Amino acid sequence: MAVFAILLPVTSRPAAGAPYAPPGAAAVDALVGRLDTLAAGLAAVGADHTVTVTVGLDADDGALGGDAALAPFASVGLPASRLTFAPPLTGRLCAMWNALAAAAVEAPPLPALAEVAPPPPTYLLLLGDDVVLRGPAAGWGDSLVADFAAAAAAGAPRDAGVVAAVDETFPGFPTFPVLHASHVGAFGGRLLPPEFDGANQGGDPYLWELYARLGAATFATDFTVANTVGGNAVSADAAPPRYARRGPAGGRCGTVAALDRDEAALRSYLSARDGVPPPPVPRMDVVVPCWRVDPAFIRRICTLPLPPRAAATTFIIIVDNPDHPRVPAVVALEAELWATARRRVRVRVNDRNVGVSASRNRGLREATAPHVLFLDDDVIPDAGLLHAYADALAASAADAPPSAARGGAPPPRRAFAGLVRFPPATTAFAAALVVTRLVYFFGAAADSPTVPWGVTANLLLPAAALGEDPFDTDAPAGGGGEDVLVCARLASAADGAAWPLLSVPAAVVVHPWWEGGRRCYRHFAGWSAGDGRLADLLPAHTYRSLPNGPELLLLVAAAAPVWVAARGGGGVVEALSAAAAVVAVDVALAGAVTARPRRAAVADGRVRLPPSGWVGTVAAAVEAAAVLWAVDGGRLVGHVGRGRLWTHVGRRFDWWLGSLPAAVVAERRRAAVLCGGVLAVWGGLAGARWLWA
């Protein structure tokens, strides 16, 4: 037999606000009617089980004086008791739940309308006074006991865990958890940690996530509820809250720290109780900023095969193009995929276009897992993507110090970079992107066991090391350097254990070529205009070099008026020849530098273009130079916009973050060859003109 202790805060408040204003008789009658309906549903627990109810009331709630809030339960034979909460606990729902749980588990008060104390509970069920039990019609206790037994059979710790009711109002969100009563003993009489003492939001997903990290959180098979007054806080037509919403102390970072701490405590408790530590669970959530609003791509991501014991994975889609006509189709995936596949999909729509960084930050705030996988909305993931990352997480846990493996603190959370592949390049522009290595870091995971940073098209990061809003919202809306900045800051977070990133070459996504491989120089210029800020944000990773092509042309343009004026209006030809020398030498150098990578790319199939002789070779050199000029020129434009142009001429950012000094040497050598070549060509042209004259 199981005993279900119902923890039930009750209020007659019509909406958030102070001071409390007593509702009218009709509102009180409606509340009592809801309690009558709830009591009738709870009474159908099943013949072998018992239900007790502990009601929490605000001390100033005059409309529910006496036993008005208890009578509906007593009328159907359910023992009910009451706790009252005076300020400052008024409206602090999580603190109320703590007190209700302690009362139900440790010292159950004698029910006001009963003569004997209730038995100690087996499970705690957190409900609200606006909840209606939808099913099953009878025997819901049998169903929940079976769900806990199934979780234990699948590897969850015995006599522990959470089974969340299926909330019709908010599919896939664990709003009303059923918790094994052992939890209160494991945490010294508390249901929720101190970070939640002033909160009335976030308690249910916290409990869910805590046990999901042990593989002990699941949704009920058929125990279904509906939230008739509150519910979906993000819906435009949702009823206003009856208390002003307050989250846990410390925001996202406070919640993540509490989860890591309490996971360690729970593992230690279960290890001591059972004699064996709970095995690690590959726990991750997926965040996808969505600008293109293509339901087919989003569906493909959200239906990826899940690793074993990873049913808690949540796919968080942040739509950043709210006026797109396909937004309703993407939003509909949330309910559809829950109904058809029990996939936890959460779709949020920004009020306006805020950019990819702000969207990722919002998605991160919605995530609760210790690791968050960031994907782009246009990638095509390999079916084994999540399995590959789960294997990487398991391998990382296996490499943890023995003290962590015994059930103490969780192992250090590492960061992981997956592999982003492109289709074979079949256009000159796409081929130029390959041979100039502008897209090298998309696929860097294939070349090295560790990388300094990864692109957010396929990047798994530890939530605790990221900070509150880690993605730089000052970056361009379409992105530009924010992924480098996030990864670089991992090195300075805590003890730097998350950096460098571990490569996971088996975690593969395919990224289509931008604009189908057609020329889009502006796209890359926009990227570099944003990533030029890295030199200011990460000055330790900068170095000096001779000017590149656009910088040399800028210097020629700046010096030309002075030169022409000094020559009394002459010298125009010399200035133009200097500019021509810069362009010609840079094109020739681009052709020379990319010749070998081009042959290699053709040989391994990354570039598929028909042979075109020396004309094609020259055209390839021009295309490569044009791509590089778009990037370097865009960076100059960004510096101009920030008022930092002349201080940044010749200042370079080390994309390897100090992990490959040879890359700095190569860049400096290339710049030296360019400047030397320009001087030689310009000097030769000047000498030829002198001889001709």
Residue at 677 is within a domain: yes
Which pLDDT does position 310 carry in this prediction? 83
* Helix H or strand E encompassing 508: strand 501-510
Please give the structure tokens belonging to residue 205.
């997903």
Residue with tokens 């996939």: 343
Phi/psi at 416 (nearest 5 deg)?
-135, 140
Going by C-beta distance under 8 Å and a sequence separation of 6 or more, which residues neighbour residue 408?
264, 267, 268
Residue at 174 is within a domain: yes
| Residue 375, SS3 per DSSP | strand
Residues 137 and 266 in one domain: yes
Residues 157 and 297 in one domain: no
Residues 293 and 432 in one domain: yes
Residue with tokens 């929490």: 56
Do 425 and 609 contact (CB within 8 A), yes or no? yes
Residue type, 666: A
Residue at 531 is within a domain: no
Which pLDDT does position 617 carry in this prediction? 85
Residue at 526 is within a domain: no
Residue type, 414: R
Please give the structure tokens belonging to residue 61.
């709630």
Torsion from C-alpha of 350, 351, 356, 357, nearest 10 degrees: -90
Residues 465 and 545 in one domain: no
Which pLDDT does position 176 carry in this prediction? 92
Please give the structure tokens belonging to residue 22.
């007593």
Which pLDDT does position 686 carry in this prediction? 73
Please state, in angstroms and rounded to a whole number, the distance separating the CA atoms of residues 375 and 297: 11
Beta bridge partners of 346: 316
Residues 180 and 157 in one domain: yes
User: Which CATH number characterizes residue 482's domain?
Assistant: 3.90.550.10
Please give the structure tokens belonging to residue 534.
């890295």
Residue at 532 is within a domain: no
Residues 37 and 161 in one domain: yes
Q: What Å distances lie between residue 552 and 158, 585, 629, 633, CA to CA?
A: 70, 11, 11, 11
Please state, in angstroms and rounded to a whole number, the distance separating the CA atoms of residues 161 and 152: 9
Residues 488 and 628 in one domain: no
Residues 257 and 295 in one domain: no
Residue with tokens 């001429």: 649
| Residue 267, SS3 per DSSP | helix
Which pLDDT does position 404 carry in this prediction? 47
| Residue 6, SS3 per DSSP | strand
Angle, helices 356-366/251-274, rounded to nearest 10 degrees: 40
Please state, in angstroms and rounded to a whole number, the distance separating the CA atoms of residues 683 and 681: 5
* Helix H or strand E encompassing 58: strand 50-58
Total count of domains within the chain: 3
Q: Where are the beta strands (DSSP E) in 90-195?
A: 123-126, 131-135, 162-167, 177-180
Burial of 146 (0-12, 13-18, 19+ CB in 10 A): middle
Residues 434 and 579 in one domain: no
Structural domain for 389, as ranges: 284-519
Q: What is the DSSP letter of 383?
A: T
Which pLDDT does position 113 carry in this prediction? 46
- Terminal-residue alpha carbon distance, the chain: 109
Q: Kind of pairing, strands 416-421 and 458-462?
A: antiparallel
Which pLDDT does position 116 carry in this prediction? 57
Residues 18 and 118 in one domain: yes
- For 559-586, b/e burial (b = at least 16 CB within 10 A) is ebeeeeeeeeeebeebbebbbebbbbbb
The DSSP secondary structure of 207-248, one letter per residue, reads: HHHHHHTTT-EEEEEEEEEEESSS--TT-TTPPPPSS-----
Residue at 548 is within a domain: yes
Which pLDDT does position 490 carry in this prediction? 84
**Closest among 41, 47, 51, 43 to 80, alpha carbons compared:** 51
Which pLDDT does position 234 carry in this prediction? 47
Residue at 529 is within a domain: no
Q: Kind of pairing, strands 284-290 and 314-319?
A: parallel
Q: In the chain, what's the furthest Cα-to-Cα distance? A: 119
Please give the structure tokens belonging to residue 654.
């080390």
Which pLDDT does position 690 carry in this prediction? 67
Residues 140 and 44 in one domain: yes
Task: State which of 274, 295, 325 marks the end of a domain.
Answer: 274
Task: State which of 245, 274, 303 marks the end of a domain.
Answer: 274
Residues 258 and 308 in one domain: no
pLDDT along the chain (693 residues), means of 10: 93 60 73 92 93 89 79 93 83 89 74 59 93 90 95 92 92 92 94 92 93 94 86 51 76 92 94 90 95 97 92 94 97 94 95 94 95 97 97 85 53 88 96 95 95 96 90 81 90 69 97 95 92 92 95 92 78 85 93 92 91 82 94 94 92 94 95 94 78 67
Angle, helices 428-435/613-641, rounded to nearest 10 degrees: 70
Residue type, 72: P
Sheet of 50-58: strand order equals 80-85, 50-58, 3-10, 123-126, 177-180, 162-167, 217-227, 131-135
Please state, in angstroms and rounded to a whole number, the distance separating the CA atoms of residues 82 and 275: 38
Please state, in angstroms and rounded to a whole number, the distance separating the CA atoms of residues 569 and 573: 11
Please state, in angstroms and rounded to a whole number, the distance separating the CA atoms of residues 679 and 664: 23
**Closest among 341, 336, 360 to 350, alpha carbons compared:** 360
User: Which CATH number characterizes residue 163's domain?
Assistant: 3.90.550
Task: State which of 274, 293, 308 marks the end of a domain.
Answer: 274
Q: Where are the beta strands (DSSP E) in 59-139?
A: 80-85, 123-126, 131-135
Going by C-beta distance under 8 Å and a sequence separation of 6 or more, which residues neighbour residue 282?
307, 309, 310, 389, 390, 391, 393, 394
Residue at 525 is within a domain: no
